[in-house]
Structure 1
């Protein structure tokens, strides 16, 4: 599954077929089956294409290992059943969205719609409760996005005399559906805990870019997904409740 998620991350933004065989992106040589075994082939090939010896991106083994870890922890928590299948599909889609967001700083709308619809198929929460929580978070963060974006574009840009900031937004359009998904899956209080973790993890690269004096907009979906996963697996909100 991790290997398939890599295919989606690479091909979906480029509108390429996900059914065709894999090729080296550098020399376009067809990848043989024994060169395409998840993680093992990467180690066997020493991270290089067997034909042109171009370095293979670390994205491939990292996504494969991450997918294995996520699946194992979800199975340990839920065991096999409808909820396991729905939640696993949800986190698989979030891995794909995170990979695309990191690479392109933009994600396909149909994938966002897919995860948002999928979360309402959970048997453990009622549809009305999920909808209420999702709308509450989506509305709240839309308002927060408006306020912070206004500050960045109209105040911060003038203080720093940086014209680029006039086009920068606080949150991407794809972040709002993920925030709604978090509250629909976890509920209000646990959702806030997941968002706290997301913000906490996002501070680290933010501080780094500040120290090296680089103006770079972070992909926030990976941090939202990580915060959601940690709270879902470990339920830290129960400590505070």
Structure 2
């Protein structure tokens, strides 16, 4: 079952790559057209489209034109495979496992879309929040309470940091572009609410702290090297969520303090 869960996750990851590519462009998912190389247009046969393995054996290049294949395909398939395996090892085969897998696949799609477009589809955010209520060990009332607490706290935090950026930082740096910048995106709110529903209050706060920590270096790199003041935060929220979900670091740290 462990091997099956890994293979199943990798296959789902292949489909998630299609969603990441097509959903932001509004393209139909019901097309029966076979996969083609985006560079040369040659049909991709099934044995060149095996999740994870094809990328390795083809050495990340199209077998027909030799153009490099995006690392995203390998990365998404690998993340999906390992997440499915880890969830199976943690939960076992159950309804919670099914819902956590569905949630995980939605979060993967959201993360990679946010990385590319710095925005995420609202309907996927709502689906992620909806699925979280089927995976929590809290009762429904506590789950809603935590969701509202976390989302409300984020709105307040966004207001305070945005005020600082637009009114103080903009004057100090004399940068007019900062006067319209918002610290956090609205897409972060449902993800943080989801974290509160599943992790609870203390673990959820710790997961947000981890997310902020993980985002520090990429944010500095983006600001200095790419001159881009916007950093997509959903991928780091998701990373912080899973680190805390699987390793429960908050409880571990409490034992020492």
TM-score, structure 2 length as denominator? 0.89
Query: Which of 4, 20, 23 is residue 9 of structure 1 equivalent to?
Result: 20
Q: Which runs of 5+ in 2 are unaligned?
A: 1-11
Contact 1:83 1:124 in 2 (8 A): no
* Alpha-carbon spacing, 1:19–1:33, altered in 2? closer, same or farther (3 Å): farther
How far apart are the structure 2 equivalents of 1:193 and 1:175?
A: 16
> In the alignment, which residue of structure 1 is the partner of 2:249?
236
> How far apart are 1:55 and its partner, in Å?
1.1
Contact 2:166 2:178 in 1 (8 A): yes
> How far apart are 1:23 and its partner, in Å?
2.1
Please give the secondary structure, in 2, of the residue aligned with 1:179: helix
> How far apart are 1:123 and its partner, in Å?
5.9
Matched, 1:175 2:175: no
How far apart are the structure 2 equivalents of 1:3 and 1:25?
A: 16
* Alpha-carbon spacing, 1:213–1:25, altered in 2? closer, same or farther (3 Å): closer
Contact 1:137 1:183 in 2 (8 A): yes
How far apart are the structure 1 equivalents of 2:64 and 2:181?
A: 42
Superposed, 1:90-169 pairs within 5 Å as 90-122=103-135, 124-169=137-182
Which digits, 9 at most, give the CA deviation of each residue in 1:61-98, with x for residues without a partner?
A: 01111111111111111011011111111111111000
Matched, 1:193 2:206: yes
Q: 73-82 vs 28-37, which deviates more?
A: 28-37
> How far apart are 1:45 and its partner, in Å?
1.8
> How far apart are 1:211 and its partner, in Å?
4.9
> How far apart are 1:166 and its partner, in Å?
1.6
> How far apart are 1:213 and its partner, in Å?
7.5
How far apart are the structure 2 equivalents of 1:107 and 1:206?
A: 19
Query: Which of 71, 75, 81 is residue 58 of structure 1 equivalent to?
Result: 71
> How far apart are 1:223 and its partner, in Å?
0.3
Say what the alpha-carbon RMSD is for the aligned residues.
1.5
Please give the secondary structure, in 2, of the residue aligned with 1:74: helix
* Alpha-carbon spacing, 1:81–1:205, altered in 2? closer, same or farther (3 Å): same
> How far apart are 1:159 and its partner, in Å?
1.2
Matched, 1:19 2:30: yes
How far apart are the structure 2 equivalents of 1:48 and 1:178?
A: 35
Flag as ranges the 4+ runs of structure 1 deviating above 6 A: none
> How far apart are 1:185 and its partner, in Å?
0.7
How far apart are the structure 1 equivalents of 2:136 and 2:121?
A: 27
Contact 2:115 2:232 in 1 (8 A): yes
Q: What number of residue pairs does the alignment pair up? A: 241
Matched, 1:49 2:90: no
